[in-house]
Amino acid sequence: MRLVSTQEFSANQEKYFDMAVNEQVFVQRDDYMFVVSRANEPNTKHKKPDAKLRNAITMDEVRDRLHSHITKLFANESISNKGSK
């Protein structure tokens, strides 16, 4: 186990990443402590789209749908305002 300051870690990152392969390296910043350790497997869970993401619409589709809806609302508002004059 190795405890280093953020300044020491920043100055010697390669050294501490290499060290983290075999032992835990703790980096202390103020009242917080961070752990540098080797992961056994890369975390790829976030890269695989789930069903919700596959069914999601793009921001362009949102814009187009909203634009169409808002245009209809303003058109209806204009019609109802003309009739009340």
Per-residue pLDDT tens digits for 31-76: 889 898 877 766 655 566 667 767 787 888 888 888 888 888 888 7
pTM: 0.46
Q: Is residue 30 part of a domain?
A: yes
28 pLDDT higher than 80: yes
CA distance 32 to 10: 16
Identify the pLDDT of residue 64. Answer: 85
Q: How many domains does the chain have?
A: 2
CB 9 within 8 A of CB 16: yes
Identify the pLDDT of residue 25. Answer: 92
Q: Looking at per-residue confidence, does 57 or 2 come out higher?
A: 2
16 pLDDT higher than 90: yes
Q: Is residue 43 part of a domain?
A: no
Residues 78, 52 share a domain:
yes
Q: Is residue 26 part of a domain?
A: yes
Q: Which domain holds residue 72?
A: 48-83
